[in-house]
Structure 1
Amino acid sequence: MHPSRERALLLPPPLRVPLAAAAWCLLLLQADAYFGLTGKEPLTQFPLLGPSTNPTHWKAHLKQCDLLRLSRKQKRLCRREPGLAETLRDAIRLGVVECQYQFRNERWNCSLDGRADLLKRGFKETAFLYAVSSAALTHSLARACSAGRMERCTCDDSPDLENRKAWQWGVCGDNLKYSTRFLKNFLGQKKVGKDLRAKVDIHNTNVGIKAVKNGLKTTCKCHGVSGSCAVRTCWKQLSPFHETGNLLKLRYDGALKVFSATNDAMGHSELASPQHHSHLAKGPPAPRATDLVYIEDSPSFCRPSRYSVGTAGRTCSREANCDSMCCGRGYNIQTRMVTFSCHCQVQWCCYVECQQCMQEEVVYSCKQ
């Protein structure tokens, strides 16, 4: 694709504050148009970066930063950080694929259709998008550091672990500390927004970051003769991002509707929710730091609108979700023949030989 065409695909309409976070979130949502994603492909593994002094690598890095739809500050940071552009691309793919997986059986399926209009509103779906985008970026940055794809960071250096011994044994902890510190600067979260929508967006962005932190575990390995633990090394390792996606989907299912309330003791406004039963004697009932929050009730997503294309034609499971997804309109039943590998046998020495079988499959799809 011609570079000018790529740039045209990534130009969104103006968004409200916080600009940096909104620009990144919209970039994540445009990844299908940019990468041609289907939601089924594996994540691309980027090769190790060459020396930053290599003029060819440096020019390629600057070009990638220019092609990404970023705010002015984000683009400046990208150009200063060799390896960041490819890490951003990795994060985009990671977040989009996970979002579409988590909502594959819902009326809203994280489609790109209506994405810009959706981000302008304060729906539950918008809350999830902010959370999953910040989580994907946090995860990808931490992994890029430990994989050697970023020049300004390396393995985790937590003081409670013997990291140098771990490095000697060829293992490298995921650097979540660097990732979260860089991310707050990248998304421009030094100051809390004054209006309700800005507070909500920042809150949901931080929920995504906390979800990644929740999956950080200490992994240990023993080294010694015959499996003895003569030497034991430990390092920090992130859980697979799919586990973070599962956690954020649970947060979405239990999201709280909030409003702005004045805290008399502190003298400023805070998020509050009548759905959250607070046991505190003073102050408004505030959502927890792990709660996704929203300010507007979502549309049904049943019919085509500015936010989605509706559910007509969507495949569903008759036992699980056809009644809900089809919004009471009913569903069509079709049969088709599908081909699959069967009767597989391992052949000497090193390959598997399979036959091709066919079977009839019943497909259910929502009526118009």
Structure 2
Amino acid sequence: MEMRLVLVAICLLLVTPIAGSFWTVGNQVVMDPMLICKKTRRLKGKTADICRKEPSLLKEIAKGVQVGTKECQYQFRNRRWNCTTMRRSLRKILLRDTRETGFVNAITAAGVTYAVTRACTMGHLVECSCDKMTSKGNRLDKLTRTVEMEKSLPTEGDWEWGGCGDNVKFGFKKSRDFMDAPYRKRSDIKTLVKLHNNNAGRLAIRDYMSTECKCHGLSGSCTVRTCWRKMPAFRDVGNRLKESFDGAAKVIPSNDGHSFITEGPTIKPPDRFDLIYSEDSPDFCKPNRKTGSLGTQGRRCNSTSQGVDGCELLCCGRGYDTRVVKEKISCECRFRWCCEVTCNTCLVKKTVNTCR
């Protein structure tokens, strides 16, 4: 149910320009995301086309949102803001333009790209297939031929393109069509930031593809290799975007009204891979309905850590309570021939610290 809420909230942000404000999200967020697409009279352009003509693709997009959400929760599991999917919090976070909003948008765009690309490779979509590159045709174009790609190309022996690679070009395009199309004609700072972060998320996959090869020859001699392109593990994508989050740059509208510049002249201008934001984040220490902060009271912390998961930082200096709890674990496991592993259940004492 919790995961369903985040899908609804994000999809509402993507496709529902409700009266009063383009960025306002309605109160009826406890809906199936598929129901949003059924109300196609409000939708236009490529988003509406996906809703009306590509139901299978829409399901993969929903899976991609889940992939992105799970990774967001992993990356922020030990921080004051832990990428909660609680409706009252997430809705407010997405309406703002903070670092956290930027990461959610980027990881969601990456998740959609990843899920759609994987569906193509697995043959789950009739609209696409895997990337069957050959040595004679379908060579890498300039958009996908990056420095990282050049480093991963084989440098020794004979090799040729082949196999069934990941069709990231299709996944990239459909993620852009679904997530960016409703905002393309706008140039306010929130829209510019959103589109930039969406693209940064997709580039964290497309521009970090790796090359995998399979040997062919007598007795594994590897006289010829067939190579194909493969997406990075999504955990690597999350790690890369988390680094961009930590180094995100604050931006302001430029004088031309159609672009942005960094807030301070000494700040390095962000490139396509960097995350950006235009609003400062709250401290997330105490509950705040306006900002979406749930506070950190009751959160578990690490009393021996000096990092972001340490009790001093996570509890915002309020102190913490310590208690001993008993947890069940599997123990005294034995292997029985053939082929079974049996374990006993043991109770172990564990010290738990929670923020006051």
CA contact (8 A) 2:187 2:259 kept: no
- The residue that corresponds to 2:191 in the other structure is 198
- The residue that corresponds to 1:303 in the other structure is 286
CA contact (8 A) 1:217 1:236 kept: yes
Shift of 1:86: 2.3
Shift of 1:90: 1.4
CA contact (8 A) 1:127 1:201 kept: yes
CA distance in 2, matches of 1:14, 1:181: 20
Using a 3 Å threshold, how does the CA distance of structure 1 residues 244 and 304 change in structure 2: closer, same or farther? same
Cα RMSD (Å): 3.4
Q: How does 1:216-365 map to 2 (within 5 A)?
A: 216-262=209-255, 269-275=258-264, 277=266, 286-306=269-289, 307-320=292-305, 321-365=310-354
Shift of 1:16: 9.5
Q: How does 1:1-368 map to 2 (within 5 A)?
A: 10=8, 65-66=34-35, 72-73=43-44, 74-113=47-86, 114-158=89-133, 159-160=138-139, 165-166=162-163, 172-189=164-181, 191=184, 193-262=186-255, 269-275=258-264, 277=266, 286-306=269-289, 307-320=292-305, 321-367=310-356
Shift of 1:228: 2.4
CA distance in 2, matches of 1:175, 1:212: 11
CA distance in 2, matches of 1:207, 1:192: 19
Gaps of 5+ in 1: 36-63, 167-171, 279-284
CA contact (8 A) 2:331 2:343 kept: yes
**Amino acid aligned to 1:303:** K
Moved more, 189-198 or 176-185: 189-198
Gaps of 5+ in 2: 141-159
CA distance in 1, matches of 2:55, 2:221: 41
Shift of 1:139: 0.8
CA contact (8 A) 1:92 1:136 kept: yes
**Amino acid aligned to 1:295:** S
CA contact (8 A) 2:121 2:130 kept: yes
Moved more, 221-230 or 328-337: 221-230
SS of 2:60's equivalent? helix
Shift of 1:155: 0.7
Shift of 1:224: 3.7
CA distance in 2, matches of 1:141, 1:121: 28
CA distance in 2, matches of 1:200, 1:126: 10
Shift of 1:108: 0.5
Shift of 1:207: 0.8
The alignment's TM-score, normalised by the length of structure 2, stands at: 0.77
SS of 1:141's equivalent? helix
- The residue that corresponds to 2:152 in the other structure is none
- Aligned residues: percent identity? 37
CA distance in 2, matches of 1:11, 1:296: 21
**Amino acid aligned to 2:168:** L
- The residue that corresponds to 1:55 in the other structure is none
CA contact (8 A) 1:256 1:275 kept: no
The alignment's TM-score, normalised by the length of structure 1, stands at: 0.75
Shift of 1:275: 4.9
**Amino acid aligned to 1:316:** C
CA distance in 2, matches of 1:228, 1:95: 41
Q: Deviations over 1:65-86 (max 9, x none)?
A: 4466997242431332252132
CA contact (8 A) 2:12 2:36 kept: no
